Structure 1
Amino acid sequence: MMSNSGGPPNVHGTEPATDEHPHHHMNPMWWRAGVPVLVALIVFFLPTPDGVQDGGMHMLAIFVGTILGLILQPLPTGSVALVGLAVAMITQAMTTQEALAGFSNSTIWLIVAAFFIAEGFIVTGLGTRIALLFVRRIGTSSLGLSYGMAVTDLVLAPATPSNTARAGGVVYPIIRSLSELENSTPESDESRKRLGSYMLLTAMQVNVVTSAMFVTAMAGNPLAQDAARGLGVDISWGKWALSALVPGIVSLIAVPWVMSKIYPPTVKKTPGAPDMAREKLREAGKMKRPEWIMAGTFVLLLVLWIFGDQLNVGATTTAFVGIAILLVTGVLRWSNLVSDKGAWQTLVFFAVLVSMADQLKNLGVIDWIGNGVASGVDGMPWLASFAILTLVYFYVHYLFASNTAQIVAMYAVFLGAAIATGAPPIFSALVFGYIGNLFGGLAHYSSGPAGVMYGSGYIKTSEWFRIGFLMSIVLIAIWTIVGGAWMKLLGDW
């Protein structure tokens, strides 16, 4: 199915295939638009509960309506987000300042910057060169390629506090280059399913695992560590990593394989790939000046991302320094940045959701939900109430546009509720900490890396929801059974 955007091929994920377009089938269009509007209206007129400020339910209504719109897609993603934003402003659920606050969110700009850095890998051919080196080594199958990416992610994880930088700046461009080598582009269903959509969805699920394994592998983890300390539970870097080690490794072995069963690429074997890689590396010859600059910039980015805290340089600052170097040296041109639709599209849609989620917290809606949950499991045996709390904490992430946003809003609420029901404090603090990463692949808006992978245009919204949910069950099973046993052995509970 070709994209019907009329312009360049669908490389930006906004007009996923034709069935998501209004002018093709009017009836589904009314149904797709009607459901979010109806649900939003119902919530809008609910009485305001105690503890929620005036306008809180209005904001919740608009947020729920927008999320449903993103799922059902009566309009392309960016359009749905802007309509939701306009409704929030006109109903005065948000002031203009509050509505646009997300556009100054540094994490969102980090995602946008990651797109531009990825562009540098593609334009210079360095991404292709790195990809070819992988292909030459373990590239005889799509599964082998996936494991190669998983190892890359794991090696970088302990030292990269931005999972978005890892996914967007390192893994994404390599997968993009690999996919293009196999003639897999977002232009048609047949083409994207050859390799790209499998590799990107798998990399996403790998990323949530590597993020969970180290305190320093995701920006929200230190916030969870901090919140736990506030409740009297101290978790060291080593303790976090040790308890996550076994379930983490098992997950990394399982994810690419499970994905190859539930969402198989049409290209299974790539027996010619290593030979082709050798041949192309020969053709490419020695590294050219732009590649060296790109490689040097990339090493600089890694060093600054790793030692950012000590040097007092934020991840987003680092990314922009990288872009500046690439622009000054001529590796990237301004036209490369302007024409990157995926980046700008992601900016709009993430910024809107983050603004809305922040406003829900400010109006007390999040606390109201958290308190409701805590009182709901009162008086049960701790294991039963803990199971309920963890599942709610996991799946309530459908309401959030970032891991960090949910951790800030709900981690302390849920950890406090768990400890109150008699759950072991260190065990509870760690489990909620790990979940704060593992839910990052649920939906195409669930985390920074999800924004990068979705923005590529390789994955349809409906596929993302289906695969995200299936993989959440797999990860919950591994971290409950293997992780639970391992943590019992370590004396965490």
Structure 2
Amino acid sequence: MNRPWLPYLWKAGVPIAVAVLVYVLPVPDGVEPTGMRMLGIFLGTILALILQPLPTGSVALIGMAVAMLTKTESAAKALAGFANTTVWLIVAAFFIAEGFLLTGLGRRIALLFVTRLGRSTLGLSYGMALTDLILAPATPSNTARCGGVVFPVVASLSQLEDSHPEPEESRKRLGAFLTLTALQVNVVTSAMFLTAMAGNPVAQEAARKLGVEISWGRWALAAIVPGIVSLVAVPWVMSKIYPPTIKKTPDAPQQARDQLREAGPMSRGEWIMAGTFVLLLILWCLGSVVKIDATTAAFVGIAILLITGVLSWKNLADNASAWSTLVFFGVLVGMASELNDLGVIDWIGNSVAGSVDALPWLVAFAILTLVYFYSHYLFASNTAHIVAMYAVFVGAAIATGAPPLFSALVFGFIGNLFGGLAHYSSGPAGVVYGSGYVKTAELFRIGFAISIVNILIWTLIGGGWMKLIGIW
């Protein structure tokens, strides 16, 4: 007997059951009365986003409606995530990428990449990694770097190989591999430099208040070896566990050169897009000097593209990926912020820290770092996680006898490396997921697998390197 409703019932039933179970748990000391209710709704929403009984945007809005209906979250707080600047930076990144595609500049850049690295799809992924690495020290917004610089080129390269988000066969040709690799590379480059992610200076300041000074040079020196090893390893590992269906493209470089000749000189739209892009890079690099944040800079760029006619309002309105990402990311950011405000995050951090007091520092340190890393499933922002838990965990590690500078640096690195765990874990993750090339379950599965690779590299090679240079 055919029961088409059974899969839907299972996919909807599991999140509801988990949400209800956590919802009715007793409220721990230090947590506000509605804290466990909020945690239950948040976990239920996350599970529903993974199992997909309904599309992503629908699940997010239902979760928000339940939070408001049960008085767990006020309407103002539920909608507060939509005022988050990182959420709007992600949306802006989609519009900027649209400009690259519409003008043809993205295709031109993609063809240039193909002429030099296009004999294999793995070569293309290393080209993207090199681009990200070069920009990382001077681009404090990892979302701007991934969404505004790397993603438009990745999208163009994918389309060049006839790889689109739909159908399934098309996305797996190249686009899914390149976009997901770009995310996992971005978390590594963000960890390598103090100025490569907005949350890193927050960690630096929190460490200073604990009596630990971290300079730009010391952070970079400690991260350079494990970072380079990860940048070499991640695209290769991705090619094995999440391979594109096309791997070798021996004729691609010559074909790209031929297509560049046919395309002729750059058009007016391409020149405007290129000039706007250069302006954005300058503003993103010098944001702290000129007092313009990354989101403001991105919308200045969009305004220029609208004024010059490179983009139209219809182009923006028709960008379903951007608006869908705004909905699910805005809802989750609001929920995660409420969990912090209600004391749930502090309760989790303090509970873990208190449970390792009597252990040898190496054992305690390992437990603390793993909990800190994977507790990021409860957050929709790197910076929010750092603000909420960095000082608690570094302080607990130091209290167990772990070297202070070593502890501060390791938790600083983790504050970036967990950004690829899920589709809501960071701004770049939102960009990649919103592209449509990667499915939710794939992002969770691959994100976890690459997290193991990075943990091993940064623990074994990174720990050994930091021992060699005298950090611990």
Asked whether the two chains share a fold, i.e. TM above 0.5, the reply is: yes
Measure the CA separation in 1 of the matches of 2:317 and 2:255.
33
Is the aligned partner of 1:306 residue 2:311? no
Partner residue in 1 for 2:161: 182
Give 1:28 deviation, angstroms. 1.0
Deviations 1:376-429 (A, max 9, x none): 111100000000000111111111111111111111111111011110000000
Is the aligned partner of 1:464 residue 2:464? no
Partner residue in 2 for 1:135: 114
Partner residue in 2 for 1:421: 400
Is the aligned partner of 1:147 residue 2:126? yes
Deviations 1:233-278 (A, max 9, x none): 1101111011000000011111111111111111000111101110
Partner residue in 2 for 1:86: 65
Partner residue in 2 for 1:73: 52
Measure the CA separation in 2 of the matches of 1:359 and 1:166.
28
Partner residue in 2 for 1:340: 319
Deviations 1:337-389 (A, max 9, x none): 00000100010101100100111111111100011000111110000000000
Partner residue in 2 for 1:17: none
Partner residue in 2 for 1:44: 23
Say what the alpha-carbon RMSD is for the aligned residues.
Answer: 1.0
Is the aligned partner of 1:394 residue 2:354? no
**Aligned residue type for 2:125:** S
**Aligned residue type for 1:307:** L
Match among 263, 266, 279 for residue 245 of structure 2: 266
Deviations 1:298-320 (A, max 9, x none): 00000000000011001000000
Partner residue in 2 for 1:438: 417
User: How many matched pairs?
Assistant: 471
**Could you tell me the TM-score, scaled by structure 1's length?**
0.95
Partner residue in 2 for 1:13: none
Is the aligned partner of 1:57 residue 2:46? no
Partner residue in 2 for 1:371: 350
Partner residue in 2 for 1:28: 7
Measure the CA separation in 2 of the matches of 1:489 and 1:274.
43
**Aligned residue type for 2:168:** D
Consecutive unaligned residues of structure 1, counting only runs of 5 or more, are: 1-22
Is the aligned partner of 1:102 residue 2:81? yes
Measure the CA separation in 1 of the matches of 2:108 and 2:340.
45
Partner residue in 2 for 1:195: 174
**Aligned residue type for 1:51:** G
**Aligned residue type for 1:97:** A
Report sequence identity in percent: 73
Match among 202, 205, 208 for residue 226 of structure 1: 205
Measure the CA separation in 2 of the matches of 1:272 and 1:436.
41
Measure the CA separation in 2 of the matches of 1:146 and 1:195.
10
Measure the CA separation in 2 of the matches of 1:33 and 1:389.
33
Match among 138, 141, 156 for residue 162 of structure 1: 141
**Could you tell me the TM-score, scaled by structure 2's length?**
0.99
Measure the CA separation in 1 of the matches of 2:4 and 2:379.
31
Give 1:141 deviation, angstroms. 0.3
Measure the CA separation in 2 of the matches of 1:273 and 1:206.
24
Give 1:25 deviation, angstroms. 3.0
Partner residue in 2 for 1:15: none
**Aligned residue type for 1:128:** R
Is the aligned partner of 1:448 residue 2:427? yes
Residues 187, 30 of structure 1: alpha-carbon distance in 2 compared, 3 angstrom cutoff? same
Partner residue in 1 for 2:259: 280
Report the secondary structure of 1:435's partner residue. Answer: helix
Measure the CA separation in 2 of the matches of 1:270 and 1:223.
44
Moved beyond 3 Å, runs of 4+: none
Measure the CA separation in 1 of the matches of 2:244 and 2:47.
29
Partner residue in 2 for 1:6: none
Measure the CA separation in 2 of the matches of 1:101 and 1:466.
30
